[in-house]
Structure 1
Amino acid sequence: MIDISYGDTAADIERKLFASWAAKGTQPAAPVPAAPANLEGRIRAAYAKLRNHCEWVSLAAIRAEIADVARADQDAALRRLAGAVDADLIPENNQKALTAEDRAAALRVGDQPKHYLAIGLR
């Protein structure tokens, strides 16, 4: 049994759980990775993972990270995220540079497909 206190974060609880298992000499084969509670959080986490010193990350790469989610749900979450003060979606200016994967992953906003996401530039 572990002692969970009001205000403990998921990371705190996970740490206590693993410490308890270690004390008993029993640990799961592999720890379950912590996942953000909502899809916007998953998109932000995917962006942070893929960013790699680039400000803009392709929606194709983001969608590959959240492939277990239905496309309609991805689109809705990306639209909500685009409305956040710290997020931007832009199109690829050089349309000839787009791959079929980039075109398929684009999010249509108004009459323009958007291909890249940036978070935290503003």
Structure 2
Amino acid sequence: MNNWSGVYLVVQLLSTAVLADERQLLLVGKGANSCTNYLFELHMSRINDEQETVRDYHHWASGYISAVSMVTPRGEELLRIHRNDNAYIYIRSYCRRHQESTFVEAVAGYVLDLAGRL
């Protein structure tokens, strides 16, 4: 078993509900929204100089990352290499490439990328 297989398993379990059927979302909050919605909110926040909605997405992502780190082996190591700015850059890039995806998929992708560097 490699270093990050435990992280991968937890991320898959936490993300499967949203991927299985959008009509039966078991997620709450911004994570259930689409990447398209996130990118729109990001764009609107820049136009209107209003950061509250985007901040809600980023808070949701921070909670997800923290939760994964709490229930996985080497979670503390995961948090040590995590940087919020890097997460937001990764998430924006992911969402631009996969606009049909959900926000949780973008955040999960970041966690898996981070875990791959352990």
Q: Which TM bucket (shorter chain)?
A: under 0.3
Larger relative helix fraction? 2
TM-score, reference length from structure 2:
0.28
TM-score normalized with structure 1 length: 0.27
Greater fraction of residues in strand: 1
